[in-house]
Amino acid sequence: YVLFATIPTVLLYIYAMNRIGFLLSSVLFLAAVQFLLGNRSWHKIAIFTVVAIAISYIFFIRLLSVPLPRGEGVFWTISHFFY
């Protein structure tokens, strides 16, 4: 069950990343996967999501200078506040 629910979630994440950008799509993806894996504590989900995105941001943007998808429209504008 978890595997079959996770695969469409990953595909949706890949699609959404170009549309709504790395930050928002990653928040939604990580929260959804944690919930699918059985984590029902929203505090733990929030902490895990923030830490994982912060580590990804530091690693890709700061250390490797790799541009992450910013999204389209208003999401592109909002992403400029973060990176």
pLDDT tens figures, 1-58: 788 889 999 999 999 999 999 999 999 999 999 999 989 999 999 999 999 999 999 9
Give pTM, 2 decimals.
Answer: 0.85
Using CA of residue 19, residue 25, residue 28, residue 30, what is the dihedral sign?
positive
Q: For 1-83, where are the alpha helices, taking DSSP H only?
A: 2-36, 42-57, 74-79
What is the spatial distance between Cα 73 and Cα 9, in angstroms, rounded to a whole number?
23
Q: What confidence score (pLDDT) does residue 80 get?
A: 87
Using CA of residue 59, residue 61, residue 67, residue 73, what is the dihedral sign?
positive
Residue 65's SS3 state is coil
> In the predicted model, what is the mean pLDDT of the chain?
92
Is the backbone of residue 73 left (phi > 0), alpha (psi -120 to 50) or beta? left
